[in-house]
Structure 1
């Protein structure tokens, strides 16, 4: 008699202005794992949301120019963002908040005007992460005057890492957490790995034609310029801002997917690659991380041992 391993159980729901997905290798563990994920989502929303007047990030930004003490959770998120800035030489910089707001991304994406006729203000470079004065020991933080932090990308990735670890620890089974297409895994991996469909938009239904990859551990993140776009003053804008200019990055890539040990590192590298543009290939080669870059014309560049695309026979993949 042959016994079959149960297929991973899954739950998908909206969160953080995007889509949260949770898969576990033991279907009976899904409720406990989901509770762990929702707890992490609630914590990051209250701590790092740009769109909540009662969030800690809002308080910190309003206090720019003065010294304030932040929570342990905020300190962890800030240090992840500052580490990303250091590793990318400022290509990923948490001080882009004012630039993002000036472009019109000043509310949740679902609330944005799809076609905003207001003129764009003159773009200004981000103040720069080096000007953040933070003492990890005391958790005392002082931002330069008129500086707004945006911890969005790295905080979301950190939440995926934390939630996957928390879900696996609570249940003893394998867990995968995906937030807006950035995913982290923890615990035992299902046979053959977690099968992930690759696409410009993680929220679109998977198709048989799309490529997929098997993830056997660690994390995967995708950054791109085709999703979270809006029109303002006749221009199509997107949410990945070049800190050096304060303008949306103008890369030759429509998406960049990177694999790494943590979702924070994968997201840092994929976002940096979009900002770096033509310099991204050499920079990614230096990191030695597996990466897949898709050019605007659809040409694919694979680096760091990224495998050739394969197309699964079924369409049950997670995006």
Structure 2
């Protein structure tokens, strides 16, 4: 006789924090409320340390240090360390010193307010100062940011926060946990049978509904993280310019990429996110770069053509070209 293993039940909660959608799924429904409370507390701490939109955040306080080394909290130190490692691993394609460039294109507040703003912008090509100018001394807990350099951890902080939260909750609850922040997903603990089934799609929409247009894949994730970056979701128009939130550090302007979206699976959500953002910045040939790194990836062109790298699962559903 062959024993059958009942699938693990799951329970989910969804709300908003850090300017994005938060989704928490646990394999023990009885622990959902307590895990959700712990997650809310942790994300509030991340926001207070890392937000570019809060004048009282630790990150904002670095704007007034005038190039002097200052002591920062272990939380901000960790977040900065992740951002600087991402910059090094991507040859600067992901660079935390793009803060001034983000403000110059109008992304200087929560995105729901950015779209309502009609102030003109002046677009000029200006290379980001460069991540190597930022010094993080983990031994002393200090960071030095040159005067005039503004940091933006948006490319890495949410993915890092998802990793951190999933690991903490899985240890505290002793069950499987999925944390998704704006689609950047980290999992920890024992997964459901068949892994966490995550739909990767080209057009943002409700997680429980198949997209009406655009192609999609379903990925079974057992550990690590999965991230998707794209130029279509956070877009706005200002002063006759069509803008989006992925900035090329080489120009300080929204990147012009052949890819509409890039999805990557990696050992951590932070690594996956750094790779997706870098692929958009690197543009043509990014699929070869991802292949050399051994990262399973799915890249979609503006015409809807799907390109995958070795290790990405074959599509379980027919792919439809985007309208």
Normalising by the smaller structure, the TM-score range is: over 0.9
Query: Take 2:8 and 2:224, find their aligned partners in 1: how far apart are those partners?
Result: 22
Q: Match of 1:278?
A: 284
List runs of 5+ in structure 2 lacking aligned partners: 319-323
Q: Match of 1:13?
A: 15
Partner-residue secondary structure (3-state), 1:20: strand
Kept in 2, the 8 Å contact 1:64–1:148? The answer is no
1:287 to 293, 302, 319: 293
Kept in 2, the 8 Å contact 1:99–1:123? The answer is no
List runs of 5+ in structure 1 lacking aligned partners: 313-319
2:235 to 229, 234, 237: 229
Q: Match of 2:41?
A: 39
- Deviation by residue 1:18-61 (Cα, 9 ceiling, x = unmatched): 10000011111111211221122011100000111110001012
2:29 to 27, 40, 45: 27
Aligned positions, number: 312
TM-score w.r.t. the length of structure 1 is: 0.93
Query: Take 2:4 and 2:299, find their aligned partners in 1: how far apart are those partners?
Result: 41
- Deviation by residue 1:156-199 (Cα, 9 ceiling, x = unmatched): 11110011011111110000000000000000010011111112
How far residue 7 of structure 1 moved from its aligned partner, in angstroms, is 2.8
1:105 to 83, 104, 107: 107
Q: Match of 1:266?
A: 272
Query: Take 2:94 and 2:302, find their aligned partners in 1: how far apart are those partners?
Result: 21
Q: Match of 1:167?
A: 169
Query: Take 1:3 and 1:267, find their aligned partners in 2: how far apart are those partners?
Result: 34
Query: Take 2:5 and 2:76, find their aligned partners in 1: how far apart are those partners?
Result: 46
Supply the RMSD in Å over aligned alpha carbons. 1.8
Kept in 2, the 8 Å contact 1:32–1:170? The answer is no
How far residue 69 of structure 1 moved from its aligned partner, in angstroms, is 1.1
Q: Match of 2:210?
A: 207
Kept in 2, the 8 Å contact 1:251–1:275? The answer is yes
How far residue 2 of structure 1 moved from its aligned partner, in angstroms, is 7.4
How far residue 3 of structure 1 moved from its aligned partner, in angstroms, is 7.6
Q: Match of 2:321?
A: none
Kept in 1, the 8 Å contact 2:202–2:300? The answer is no
Tell me which moved more, 206-215 or 5-14. Answer: 206-215
Residues 1:15 and 1:119: Cα distance change in structure 2 (over 3 Å): closer
Kept in 1, the 8 Å contact 2:231–2:261? The answer is yes
Partner-residue secondary structure (3-state), 1:153: coil
Query: Take 2:136 and 2:17, find their aligned partners in 1: how far apart are those partners?
Result: 29
